[in-house]
Structure 1
Amino acid sequence: MRQTITIKSIFYVLITLTLTACATMGDGNKVEQQQKILQMKDTVLTQLFANKPDTREQLSAAPGYAVFSNANINLIFIAAGTGYGVVKDNQKNTHTYMNMAEGGIGLGLGVKDYRIVMVFHSKDAMNHFVNSGWTFGGNADASAKAGNKGGSVEGEAYYGDVTVYTLTESGLALQATIKGTKFWRADALN
């Protein structure tokens, strides 16, 4: 019984620390936080273009795209994560700042810091995402990466009029989960 309480305590502390560390852009006023998100977007796009040069043209031709920074933790049967990002409307040259959270069930163990780039191939798909923002998905991956060291299995997926790319920044994870992800406007930043 005592061992179960200790394992549960460690589990809750790890989840709290991970989610708290990644849930916000840090301190600063509205403009400073927006700038941090835009810097993250530019860094992620530079990585994506280096790994998949054809994506530069794909993003330029699309009505819009989104870039998110996310961290998640998976302990045995439960997965949880949180993050933030921005949707760029290429036609209006505007940004919509957003938050994200995910939760799921499945078998896995690990912590992962990763980035998501979504390319919207239609204006309707982008508007639906910004206004509704809800998506379900399954996830299976393996990663062991710290900075430029290590490796990870990174993906590209297609959901109707949206192409999704994932890039792992760092982490050690082996997981197969079914999870739901919720994206919503960050009211304080828009």
Structure 2
Amino acid sequence: MDYKLDVLQPALEAALGPRIRSLVRDRGEITITVKAADYLEACTQLRDHPALSFEQLMDVCGLDYSAYRDGGASIYAEGPRYCVALHLLSVSKNWRLRVKVFCPDDDLPIVASVNGVWAAANWFEREAFDLFGIVFEGHDDLRRILTDYGFIGHPFRKDFPVSGHVEMRYDPEQKRVIYQPVTIEPREITPRIIREDHYGGLH
């Protein structure tokens, strides 16, 4: 595996050059980070450059690094809050790559859509938009995919309450689904432990 990385790393550095902000080799994988301004161009190079040939997009996911700020020691403690991570596969060269890009604005996280580079990004980007609120500029049909269209908030953000903001139920009088503020009161449940005298053959 290290031999592949020894070939892949210089190929990445030659093809992308200064567009690579960081390159990390860890646990038999390479992760590169690029700026949001270079993201779309870098992805196109990753797909089209003959030395790289990442023809297949395996996954797109959002990340919320806000909790890292509480620890203080992390490299993410002072950086942007939202990140998008891609997992790429080159079938022809039999190697993989992780690409990360941070959204410059925490209040309105935006990065370019790579749906035009890999068609498989379509639903993945919609999922990251739905769950994290990350906007993919240039996406043809960016709308919620897992939550309801009237859903409020983005449930994978670290500050989203565990019980949510609203709940929906069927109202038999109105004969339709309605939304209302959450009525669940938070409570802590401590499990009751029962120990039998001879449990497990112990005396």
- TM-score normalised by L of structure 1: 0.24
- Return the structure number with greater strand share: 1
Structure showing greater Rg: 2
| Greater relative CO (CA pairs within 8 A, separation 6+) | 1
